[in-house]
Amino acid sequence: MRTGILIPVILMFTVLAACSAERTERAVGESRAEVTPADLLRDYSGSVVQVEYRLRYDAGLLPPMRYSPYSPSYSRGSDEADWSVYIDEERPVIRPGYVVGRGLVATTDPALPERFIKSITIHTAGGDYPATVQALARNTECLILKVRGEADLQPIVFDDEAGEAARWLRLVKSGEGMLLGSGMLGNTTWEREGDGLYRTAPPASLLLDVNGEPVGMTFSGELSGDVPWRGSPLAWPSVDINEYKDKLKRLRERMLRQVPRIGLKLRSPRRESLDDQFDRYRAGYGHGGRDAPQLTQWDGPGIMLDNQMVLVLANFRPATTARIEKITVHPAEDQALEASFVASLRDFGGFLAKLQQPLGDDINIAGGNISDYRHELLLQALVSVHGQERLVQLDHQRLKHFHIGMGGMVYPDLAPLASDGHSYTYYDFVHSYGADLPGRYLFNTRGELVAAPVELRTKLTVERERDLQTLQLVPVVYISEVLADINAHADKNNVPLSEAEENRLAWLGVELQRLDAELARFNDLTDLTNDGDFGAIVTYVYPGSPADRAGIRMGDVLLKIYVKDQPKPLEVHGTSYGSTAFPWENYDELPAEYILGIRRPWPTVQSRLTTALTDLGFGTPYELEYVHEGEVKRVHLTAEQSPPHYASAPRYKDRGLGLTVRDLTYELRRYFHKRDNDPGVIISDVEPGSRAATAGLKPYEIITYINDQPVHDVQEFREMVGSADILRFEVLRMNRRRIVRVQKPARESKTEEQD
């Protein structure tokens, strides 16, 4: 027995519409077999219409896609994945519509911003008629359209005494157009946790009883007590279009305070540390958007969690957070409120800051479960920050689907950014230090913030695998719960620091050589290292270092680091930077500014290993797995702060000489073959045209004596150059010594700088 039928809409409009508008009389209790699908198609053909949306670009932008490419609900080629096809091919988006009153049509809510809709047209057998939105249903994906003109439409009359829903009738898309279909409802019943029982039906369909009498409609595809479907959509709870526009107007005033612009001032990084941070980038930890060493100003969005606490959506690593000096909150463009740093969050990408004075009493976060907003009318603010300008666009949105994500929490299946679908990645939000693409902020109709685009921090050992998928539309109630116990959710290693501390690193105290497939096979480590895919050979162990104390020796191979609460071990990698030799032989021919633009001659201490240990946090215990003389071993260690290295070493700048020097640190003494008690300070910068440059001094040379007296650190250097007018430097370039004489300026004012 056939329970469904599909016929072309063209046939429906040209043949069935010619039939009588009067419904065929049937006796009450007429059997199911006596009401055929053909009867239903004939009876309701005059009440089913096509709703055609013509779309357009707005300021060169496409309508935002509904789902991101990483969403479980994403389907490439679907309407919500790429609206551009309809614009470029000059064809409409078609949705089914049902005549529910005189000049009134109920249809699916596509949740498209009004500015992207060029026109709405009702297509019938008798012609095409323009339409406008009259109302939006509160609890299901339904719009009520008002048809302009004298359209010959046959309203569906719903019978309060009709039986249970047993049949459906709807328009469906087909390759050649739209088809009108009818079928029987299944008897399968579902139970969603917390929502009770429900049945399913084709979405956007007319529901009929066994005798073909109209029972209701479903636009969500669910028949439950929480989602309206019985009776006429005109009787469902709804928001009139004028009331809707008023809600958007009031939301604009509120959300400017709820989602303020944040300005961050960051201390300029030390020039010498840029090379180390570039090494960090190449080592594979951190991306330009979060750890760009040149970043000194950040403007982006924040979320007020109450009237004083704000979540700043700047997902910085410790090296960048360390340089934060000032936090300014701008609830309005003419308002600038200072805030103090509270804590970086361990699970959410951002940090908490506290206003010195409360903002107001209209900051409200929606409570409850995010799934409670399924199908409901929500107000949407698309917010982007461009420098000191904040752009806000308001419309509405619906949540259809959800998924369980990080931490076992439920997230709405909706793209966190208002992207057009052509270039959606995590970088679009973070790489530009703010939000070049507008972020979605969802509010309920009471004006309470429901969800916001927030990056989820992944565990250190899996972050590189998930870096493109961590930006989510997060229920804000999850974040507000952090306020009950901030210390329990804080990343205590990710805080602002003084300039002297900002370049601190953890260390193991080894130099490493990259392991490859050939070396892995030679050392019989193919199975342990996945044919040389990871692992690093120890080429040097610093005396007294954690590695030295743990018994690690040259020739050992480091494999993995195991950390409690990390989902998997961290594989150890060596880093190869090529074999380009430093140009010591023709050093005199190179200007100082060129020298500072090439890689330094000694191996960097900034590596994947030291960066990972630093990000774990000083004091964090871990186990190191390594191979010693063919035997796999493990040793318990703790992440320790390294001694001063080149980027963090004390420095002194004499402005009169145009010369900056630094202490000799442990990696420099190894490279230059210096013992711990050997004198010397290293030249780290020479200003072009200065007295030091004219005398021929160059970066990375070592000054060992001043006026025949040994100099051991920058403090001694400062005292010596300050007490003499003529300076006689003994300078060491690798193993070549020379004497350089420099005449100091006759009078100096503020010629020195030290830290």
Strand partners, 729: 706, 740
pLDDT of residue 487: 95
pLDDT band at 375 (very low <50, low <70, confident <90, very high): very high
Report the residue count for the chain. Answer: 755
pLDDT of residue 130: 96
pLDDT at 24 over 70: no
pLDDT tens digits for range 104-163? 999 999 998 899 999 999 998 888 999 999 999 999 999 999 999 877 889 999 988 888
pLDDT of residue 533: 93
pLDDT band at 78 (very low <50, low <70, confident <90, very high): low
Q: How far apart are CA 404 and CA 178, in angstroms?
A: 35
Q: How far apart are CA 212 and CA 162, in angstroms?
A: 9
Could you tell me what percent of the chain has a pLDDT over 90? 58
pLDDT of residue 156: 95
Q: How far apart are CA 180 and CA 125, in angstroms?
A: 14
**Is-contact 607 623, C-beta < 8 A?**
no
Helix/strand/coil for 611: helix
pLDDT at 165 over 50: yes
Right CATH number for 5-236 from 1.20.140.10, 3.40.630.30, 2.40.10.120, 3.40.1130.10? 2.40.10.120
- For residue 498, CA distances in Å to 61, 273, 490, 699 come to 43, 15, 20, 26
Which one-letter amino acid corresponds to residue 326? Answer: K
pLDDT at 19 over 50: no
Q: How far apart are CA 386 and CA 221, in angstroms?
A: 40
The string of DSSP codes covering 466-490 is HTTS-EEEEEHHHHHGGGGGHHHHB
Q: How far apart are CA 563 and CA 478, in angstroms?
A: 26
pLDDT of residue 11: 40
pLDDT at 4 over 70: no
CB atoms within 10 A of CB 300: 24
pLDDT tens digits for range 405-461? 888 899 998 877 766 444 444 444 444 434 457 889 999 999 999 999 998 888 777
**Interval 335-358 mean pLDDT:** 95
Whether the CA torsion 516, 517, 519, 520 is positive or negative: it is positive
Task: Name which of 189, 187, 106, 104 is nearest 153 in CA terms.
Answer: 104
Which one-letter amino acid corresponds to residue 66? Answer: R
**Is-contact 626 635, C-beta < 8 A?**
yes
Task: Name which of 596, 304, 322 is nearest 313 in CA terms.
Answer: 304
pLDDT tens digits for range 216-245? 999 999 998 888 999 999 999 999 999 999
Whether the CA torsion 318, 320, 325, 328 is positive or negative: it is negative
**Is pLDDT larger for residue 196 or for residue 296?**
296
pLDDT of residue 441: 95
Q: Which two tokens stand for residue 417?
A: 């950014």
**Is-contact 711 705, C-beta < 8 A?**
yes
**Is-contact 288 278, C-beta < 8 A?**
no
Task: Name which of 731, 604, 737 is nearest 666 in CA terms.
Answer: 604
pLDDT of residue 174: 74
pLDDT of residue 38: 82
Q: Name the one residue in this structure whose structure tokens are 């007429």.
A: 30
Across 1-10, 114-123, 266-275, which has the greatest mean pLDDT?
A: 114-123
pLDDT band at 272 (very low <50, low <70, confident <90, very high): low
pLDDT of residue 590: 85
DSSP 178: E
Phi/psi of residue 637, each to 5°? -135, 170
CATH 2.30.42.10-classified regions of the chain: 506-641, 646-754
Which one-letter amino acid corresponds to residue 679? Answer: P
CA angle, 18 then 179 then 44, to 5°: 40
Which string of b and e fits 549-561 if b means at least 16 CB within 10 Å? ebebeeebbbbbb
**Interval 676-681 mean pLDDT:** 97
Helix/strand/coil for 714: helix
CB atoms within 10 A of CB 451: 27
Task: Name which of 668, 660, 650, 540 is nearest 601 in CA terms.
Answer: 668
**Interval 470-498 mean pLDDT:** 92
- Residue 334 class from Cβ within 10 Å (0-12 exposed, 13-18 middle, 19+ buried)? exposed
**Is-contact 62 56, C-beta < 8 A?**
no
pLDDT of residue 436: 59
Q: Name the one residue in this structure whose structure tokens are 């685009």.
A: 453
pLDDT of residue 376: 96
**Interval 199-206 mean pLDDT:** 92
Across 152-282, the runs of DSSP E, i.e. the strands, are 167-174, 177-184, 189-192, 196-200, 205-208, 214-218, 222-223, 238-240, 261-266
CATH 2.40.10.120-classified regions of the chain: 5-236, 249-496
pLDDT of residue 413: 87
**Interval 708-718 mean pLDDT:** 97
Q: Which two tokens stand for residue 713?
A: 């650190």
**Interval 316-333 mean pLDDT:** 92
Strand partners, 662: 651, 682
Q: Name the one residue in this structure whose structure tokens are 């004499």.
A: 654
pLDDT at 253 over 70: yes
Tell me which CATH code domain 249-496 carries.
Answer: 2.40.10.120
pLDDT band at 291 (very low <50, low <70, confident <90, very high): low
**Is-contact 539 554, C-beta < 8 A?**
yes
- For residue 484, CA distances in Å to 175, 349, 489 come to 55, 18, 10
pLDDT band at 43 (very low <50, low <70, confident <90, very high): confident
**Is-contact 155 122, C-beta < 8 A?**
no
CB atoms within 10 A of CB 57: 15
Least trusted range by pLDDT, from 263-272, 462-471, 707-716: 462-471
pLDDT of residue 3: 41
**Is pLDDT larger for residue 340 or for residue 38?**
340
pLDDT at 602 over 80: yes
Task: Name which of 389, 216, 200, 217 is nearest 301 in CA terms.
Answer: 389
**Is pLDDT larger for residue 570 or for residue 294?**
570
pLDDT at 35 over 70: yes
The alpha carbons of the chain give a radius of gyration, in whole angstroms, of 35
pLDDT at 52 over 80: yes
Phi/psi of residue 457, each to 5°? -75, 130
Contacts 24+ apart (CB under 8 A), 709-712: 710/679, 711/679, 711/680, 711/681, 712/679, 712/680, 712/681
pLDDT band at 362 (very low <50, low <70, confident <90, very high): confident
Tell me which CATH code domain 506-641 carries.
Answer: 2.30.42.10
Q: What's the mean per-residue pLDDT of the chain? A: 85
Widest CA span in the chain: 120
**Is pLDDT larger for residue 466 or for residue 316?**
316
Which helix (H) or strand (E) segment holds residue 253: the answer is helix 241-258
pLDDT of residue 524: 93
pLDDT band at 71 (very low <50, low <70, confident <90, very high): low
pLDDT tens digits for range 521-565? 999 999 999 999 999 999 999 999 999 999 999 999 999 999 998
Q: Return the CATH architecture of domain 646-754.
A: Roll (2.30)
Strand partners, 632: 627
Task: Name which of 503, 482, 468 is nearest 665 in CA terms.
Answer: 503
pTM: 0.82
pLDDT of residue 438: 82
